[in-house]
Amino acid sequence: MSTAVIVHPIRTVADHRVALGRIEALWGSRRGTPEGDELDVLIDLVHSYEERRHAMPRGRTRDVVRHLMEANGLTQGDLPEIGPQSAVSAILSGKRSLNLRMIKALAKRFHLPADAFIE
């Protein structure tokens, strides 16, 4: 007999944040328990939301950075991980590449694998 798990759709950034917090609280729960079932469902919902919201372009690093900026409403000045606005502009125009420090910082900020920023 299983216990009903109450979850809600993830439609907003706030919903996403709440779901991630709940996942963190449930992390390590045993499969087959109500907590384990809730964890499995939440992981699927978060994955689906992230796929829809952050569908990553494949290919050039600058396209990935541009996509993340647009998806998160950021300007060139909002990416201190890369540097000043002029450095971001150089990345987006293809005149400069991301270095390892930038890649690690962007991966951490956007919760993505580092290879998302490597061409």
pLDDT tens track for 18-48: 999 999 999 999 998 999 999 999 999 999 9
Same domain for 75 and 98?
yes
pLDDT of 117: 87
pLDDT confidence band for 56 (50 / 70 / 90): low
Write the DSSP string, the chain. Answer: -----------SHHHHHHHHHHHHHHTTPPTTSHHHHHHHHHHHHHHHHHHHHT-PPPS-HHHHHHHHHHHTT--GGG-TTT-SHHHHHHHHTTSS---HHHHHHHHHHHT--GGGG--
To the nearest whole number, what is the mean pLDDT of the chain?
88
CA angle, 113 then 101 then 114, to 5°: 10
pLDDT of 2 above 60: no
Asked whether residue 107 is assigned to any structural domain, the reply reads: yes
Residue 8 resides in a domain:
no
Quick one: pLDDT band at residue 98, thresholds 50, 70, 90?
very high
Indicate the number of domains in the chain.
2
- What residues make up the domain containing 79? 61-117
Answer whether 0.85 is exceeded by the pTM: no
Residue 3 in any domain: the answer is: no
